[in-house]
Amino acid sequence: MDIRVRFQKLAASIAALVKKYGKLIAAAGIYRIQAWLFDNPIWMAVELKWHMKGVLSMIVISLLFNIVLLISFRNKKNEWTLWTALDELSIKQSEFNSRYDKWTSKKTIWKLIPMVISYIPFKVAMLLMWCIKKSPILGDLAALIMLSVFEDPFVTTTYLRHGYVNGLRARDIVAFLLSSVISIGYWAVRNGLIVELGLRPLF
């Protein structure tokens, strides 16, 4: 087949995909970009400059942001928050395995830190994903822990609502609170290790 024909077919397929899922892709992309910026460079910079006060400020801002989102979208179906939340973990598996192999070949403290904060949570998540297939209760518990760590309380609560869009129930509020504790605890410890052991000695 002529390369020009192949390119035209590819372009047509991409155009059809964008036309059908354009808003979903754009919303998910924007959300994930801002979430990554907040959870990583912004959080670390604030903690590096203001220490514990900075950490507490980021926790409060994170809680308020997720509360506003949850209230705003309590009567809407938020597919854009979920489309890569679970599949992304399996995509990253080879990357984390590669990191682990490098660490085991030459053990140093600088390789131990990223292994602990990335590989171990990932392996735990793989175990939890296995639970999702076993029962609804185990699945929701696994999703609560996994999405709280890899995403945020808003995404976690939205997933656990399983399409429910008629306001917030007591179970939704409980899920949000539990997710907030897990998520904030994880990110505070993770970023604290990176900042205090990795970045602060350099500054």
102-124 per-position pLDDT tens digit? 766 766 666 666 666 666 666 66
Domain membership of residue 65 (yes or no) is yes
* Domain total of the chain: 1
**Residue 101 CB partners (closer than 8 Å, separation 6+):** none
CB 139 within 8 A of CB 133: yes
Domain membership of residue 158 (yes or no) is yes
- CA 113 – CA 54 distance, rounded (Å): 22
Domain membership of residue 118 (yes or no) is yes
pLDDT tens readout for residues 23-33? 777 888 889 89
Domain membership of residue 169 (yes or no) is yes
Label residue 71 exposed, middle or buried (CB < 10 Å: 0-12, 13-18, 19+): exposed
CB 69 within 8 A of CB 154: yes
pLDDT tens readout for residues 160-196? 888 888 999 999 999 999 999 999 999 999 999 999 9
Domain membership of residue 28 (yes or no) is yes
Domain membership of residue 15 (yes or no) is no
Q: Write b or e for each residue in 23-50: b if 16 or more Cβ atoms lie within 10 A of its Cβ, otherwise e.
A: eeeeebeebbeebeebbeeebbebbbee
The whole domain housing 137 covers 23-202
Domain membership of residue 176 (yes or no) is yes
pTM for the whole thing? 0.75
- CA 201 – CA 203 distance, rounded (Å): 6
